[in-house]
Amino acid sequence: MKKLITVFALAMASLTLAAQQNSVGNGKIKMQIGNTSNSPTEQKKDSPEKTNRNTEGKITLTLQLKSLPTDSVSIYYQILSNPDIEVEHTAQLKNGMLKYEVNINEPIKLMIMPLSLIHKFKNGKFYPTRGSRITCYANPGDQMKIEATLVDSCLLFTVKGNKVSEQYALFHNETLDVSKDQIAQAFIFETKKENERSNEEVSNYQKIRNNNLRMQEVKAIKFIKQHPNYEASALLMKSIPKDSVISFYGSLTPEVKKSFFGKEVQRLMNGWFNNTVGKKMPEFEANTIENKSFKLSNTKGKYVLLDFWGSWCKPCLDESPQMKALQLKYQQELQIVGLIANDTKENAIKAIKQYQLNWTQLFSETNEFGSLFGLREYPTKILIDPAGVVVQIHKGSSDQVFKDIEALISKTK
């Protein structure tokens, strides 16, 4: 279950996570992969302790941001081995300086966002863009120094004291032009309320956002090509297209492949191997949100639509009318199975009731669905035919997704 702690501090914040926060719930999920000799990598997931990282000590971070000498900042961190444990602090800069300490025995991901750069629009929406935050990674025992400068509402920064963070900062600074454009376009779009936007404006903004994402991917691929010996290159592989990951993974140095993020890419590739169009979906079983047992093999004779979603995912919830229509139209031919990702049980149950998602919903306290299926985007839908073969995989949300699903299922009616 996701744990979020918010603490307010001034110049220094210090926190020790209680041991019980590292425990996991009793959610159950098993996946039988069968013969894994053709799998590109090992299935076993190593803990960060086995990736040559220091696992004892305090993380100390010193931030210098002279452009905003008295601003408050939101400091958010996530434990890499268990992303559902999240901690958020708010602290105030003093003469552009901040010292932050955390006592923890796990590697973490840190995000620092000056509150003045989290844009609040008249329609009530907040827009913290990637360019207006500092993202870095830290291991127990690290003593890190971050120097940041404000450039056109974006943060240019350098990091010392952690190699991955030093490398990632280089990539961040190389992509500031994309971030600036993203902020500018968001301001134009978000100044209007939803009911004031024309369909053309919505469509054009979506195209601009997609284009910005493609530009980020191009820059990430260029960075990976230039730096196959950087662990940050493995980190960036989680945000580029699948074909590119497969193409460039082999170019990474052996040391990077053995690193924490190198092994994360390996697990991602395993998930893709387990659900590929044209291949039989491996048997898996999990618990429903009502704590009942579910086995994929019990759905034989029907198409099965695996729908990966979360209550935090607005595009996922916006699809609920189309999902309900699909369920009603193909009651005899199709079984929909929701797989709730990166969510709390409480929030998921609320969303199921509010949006009437009245089909089988699987829930795992340990949120294993993402790694098992190699997911990076939500919503994601996997359509399995009555013989158990994966016939379609859809990432993202669009009307075309449902047209493609219906076109295939209707052939069997």
- Provide the number of structural domains found in the chain: 2
Among 161, 178, 197, identify where a domain stops.
161
Assess if residue 245 is contained within a domain: no
Assess if residue 208 is contained within a domain: no
**Predicted local distance difference test score (pLDDT) of residue 151:** 84
Among 135, 161, 187, identify where a domain stops.
161
Assess if residue 213 is contained within a domain: no
Give the DSSP H or E segment for 295: strand 293-295
Assess if residue 40 is contained within a domain: no
Task: Supply the pTM of this predicted model.
Answer: 0.67
Q: How far apart are CA 212 and CA 217, in angstroms?
A: 9
**Predicted local distance difference test score (pLDDT) of residue 309:** 93
**Of 252, 286, 285, 282, nearest to 270 (Cα)?**
282
Consecutive 10-residue runs of the chain (413 residues): their mean pLDDT?
Answer: 38 32 35 32 38 64 91 89 77 93 90 83 61 91 95 89 97 83 69 73 76 87 97 93 90 96 88 82 90 90 93 90 93 93 89 94 81 82 93 87 90 71
pLDDT digits (tens, 9 = 90+) for 74-133: 998 988 876 666 788 899 999 999 999 988 888 999 999 998 887 665 555 666 666 788
- By residue count, the chain amounts to 413
Look at phi and psi of residue 197 and say left if phi exceeds 0, alpha if psi is from -120 to 50, else beta: beta
Assess if residue 228 is contained within a domain: no
Give the DSSP H or E segment for 88: strand 82-92
**Predicted local distance difference test score (pLDDT) of residue 177:** 79
Amino acid in position 117: L
Q: How many CB atoms lie within 10 A of CB 176?
A: 16
Assess if residue 207 is contained within a domain: no
Assess if residue 151 is contained within a domain: yes
Domain range enclosing 133: 1-32+53-161
The label of the residue with tokens 């240019």 reads 156
**Predicted local distance difference test score (pLDDT) of residue 350:** 94
Q: How far apart are CA 270 and CA 43, in angstroms?
A: 7
Which CATH number covers residue 137? Answer: 2.60.40
Phi (first) and psi of residue 201, to 5 degrees: -65, -40
Residues ≥6 apart with Cβ < 8 Å to 251: 224, 225, 228
Q: How far apart are CA 89 and CA 107, in angstroms?
A: 18
Assess if residue 365 is contained within a domain: yes
Whether residues 293 and 151 share a domain: the answer is no
**Predicted local distance difference test score (pLDDT) of residue 413:** 63
Which CATH number covers residue 299? Answer: 3.40.30.10
**Predicted local distance difference test score (pLDDT) of residue 340:** 92
Whether residues 138 and 4 share a domain: the answer is yes
Among 161, 184, 215, identify where a domain stops.
161
Q: Are 135 and 162 in contact (CB under 8 A)?
A: no
Whether residues 155 and 294 share a domain: the answer is no
Q: Are 46 and 264 in contact (CB under 8 A)?
A: no
**Predicted local distance difference test score (pLDDT) of residue 367:** 66
Residue 121, classed as helix, strand or coil, is coil
